[in-house]
Amino acid sequence: MRVRAVHTIGDLADDMRNVSRRAPIEGNRVVRDNAYKGNALAKGFASEQHTMFGDEDIEYPPSFTVEKIAPMLWEYGPDTSIGDGSQAEGYEHGSINSPPHHDIARSVDVIEIEFPLDVDDMVRGLFW
Amino acid sequence: MTEKDQATSILAALNAALDPTVAYDLDKVPGVNGNAGTRPTKFATISISEKYEGKRRGSGETSVEGFRIVVRYAAKSTNDARNMRALTKATLSEKTVGSGANEIGPFVFQSSQAIAPDDGYQSGSDTYTF
């Protein structure tokens, strides 16, 4: 008769060591990816606005940029120093003569759902 | 419930609250868009759009799915516009409008734009989702 015990406590110990090393890297990757995704969406909506309403706001979509503020803190949206970025307030909220375009709010509609899911996946991925 | 029905319910509620100021659809403001009359000294406009909501939970049964409404306040005086903002907030924020099958809401505040000079008026807007 033979008894054979198999355990994977060593794997768990390895994971515990690796999680603290990988979490900041993976966390930053998730935040960065979502910032780029949000910016691509917002820029796409802004381009759509341009095709629909003529060429006076052709310089608006190129003003959408992504930048890193700190580790795991990224920002995207129109840069006021580029092209028509300074007109973002009017395009986003509209004015007395034009309806709001909500390019940024519409991108947030998507990101606010997908970002938490990506964070969830990232945390699960730290194990195994 | 169609977007048109939603707009009708919201305009009815706003017009009751904003009295004597009038809330319009963007195409119905007097004096613009070829409408008779002159542009009022104070008025509100609304615009509605559907919003992306992702996959809904199996149990998430609602009569109306995610929409966004923007209420714009325009007046010759900044204080008039501010009053409209306050009255609109009291009518919409965290509340429902309409009744029975036409009830929609509750409206959740999303963002706000400061009241600033705009084509001879002072105007600003609030965005709600419902």
Q: What is the ipTM of this complex?
A: 0.77
| CA-to-CA dists, residue B120 to A11, A76, B22, B94, angstroms | 70, 33, 18, 32
pLDDT at residue B77, as a whole number? 94
Tell whether the model's pLDDT for residue B63 goes beyond 50: no
Burial string for A73-108 (b: 16+ CB within 10 Å, else e) reads: ebebbbbeeebbbebbebbbbbbbeeebbbbbbbbb
**pTM, two decimal places:** 0.81
Which of B54, B111, B119 faces A96 most closely, judged by CB atoms? B119
Tell whether the model's pLDDT for residue B54 goes beyond 90: no
pLDDT at residue B100, as a whole number? 83
- The whole-angstrom distance between A116's CA and the closest CA on chain B is 12
Higher pLDDT, B5 or B58: B5
B23: exposed, middle or buried (Cβ count in 10 Å: 0-12, 13-18, 19+): buried
Give the residue-averaged pLDDT of A60-83.
92
CA atoms within 13 A on the CB side of B67: 22
Tell whether the model's pLDDT for residue A7 goes beyond 90: no
Tell whether the model's pLDDT for residue A30 goes beyond 50: yes
Going by pLDDT thresholds of 50, 70 and 90, the confidence category of residue A54 is low
Q: Is B72 on the interface with A (CB under 8 A)?
A: yes
Q: Do A96 and B70 touch (CB under 8 A)?
A: no
Q: Which of B45, B52, B67, B128 to mutate to test the interface with A (most CBs of A within 10 A)?
A: B52
* Amino acid code (one letter) for A28: N
Q: What percent of chain B has pLDDT over 90?
A: 57
Phi then psi for residue A76, to 5 deg, are -135, 160
Give the containing element (helix H, strand E) for B86: helix B78-92
Going by pLDDT thresholds of 50, 70 and 90, the confidence category of residue A69 is very high
Tell whether the model's pLDDT for residue B60 goes beyond 90: no
Cβ-based contacts of B70 with chain A (< 8 Å): 93-94, 99-100, 102
For B16-27, how does the pLDDT look when each residue is reduced to its tens digit (9 = 90+)?
999 888 999 988
